[in-house]
Amino acid sequence: MHFHSSLLLLVSLTLTAARSPKDGADPANNLHFITKEVRDHIADNYISLWDGNYDIINSTFSPDFTMLYQDRFPTGLGNGSVLSDVDSRAAFLAFVQRGRAAFSQYEFKVVRKFGEDNVIAIRWILDAVYKGGFPLATLAPGASLSYNGTDTLTLDPSSGLVVEVWSAQDLMNLFHQLGAPVGTL
């Protein structure tokens, strides 16, 4: 065998062993592959995407991204989080772009992030400058606002990329700052 072929075989066997299931684990659930470093990288990319770095969508979200759950306003029906129509990587990018459209400045600050296995939770504060565009909002363009939320990301156990997002935001506070009746935007 040539040296180059032997080296490739050795690297391939090493990577296979490193990603092989441990202790009889299900090979479809390679959760040991998702280390703290992988979770930190994806969490940082996720915040960077919201801060306007759209080029990292493919290195953050799986092509198999399937769902965004969002908090809803109370209706007396006992709802809670609801599945949105954001069901692909491209749809999530469009969702981010729509979310940023009414602001001339938009910056997320991470308060805390943590994770285990293939789940990451990110507590954030958004500081933004409103430029206009929300229906019924009375906040003057150029005014600052700030509100917070927590997003929980589920990662694909094989690729380490985001496959679902659960988003809980202080929307009551956001609507109050915008001067809009709750649930109208």
Task: Let me know how long the chain is.
Answer: 185
Check whether residue 116 and residue 171 sit in a common domain: yes
Q: How many CB atoms lie within 10 A of CB 178?
A: 21
Per-residue model confidence as pLDDT tens digits over 129-141? 999 998 889 999 9
Per-residue model confidence as pLDDT tens digits over 51-79? 999 999 999 999 999 888 887 655 555 55
Smallest Cα–Cα separation from 145: which of 161, 157, 132? 132
Q: Mean pLDDT score of the chain, rounded to an integer?
A: 81
In a domain, 75, yes or no: yes
Domain extent, residue 10, equals 1-26
The Cα–Cα gap between 101 and 134 comes to 10
Report the pLDDT value the prediction gives residue 75, as an integer from 0 to 100.
52
Check whether residue 16 and residue 48 sit in a common domain: no
Check whether residue 19 and residue 100 sit in a common domain: no
Smallest Cα–Cα separation from 77: which of 185, 178, 183, 171? 183
Check whether residue 135 and residue 118 sit in a common domain: yes
Q: What is the CATH number of the domain that holds 127?
A: 3.10.450.50
Q: Residue 148 burial by CB count (10 A; 0-12/13-18/19+): exposed, middle or buried?
A: middle
Check whether residue 105 and residue 157 sit in a common domain: yes
Per-residue model confidence as pLDDT tens digits over 171-185? 889 989 999 877 544
Check whether residue 99 and residue 145 sit in a common domain: yes
Calculate what percentage of the chain has a pLDDT beyond 70.
74
User: Could you please report the per-residue DSSP string of 77-109?
Assistant: S----EE-S--SHHHHHHHHHHHHTTEEEEEEE
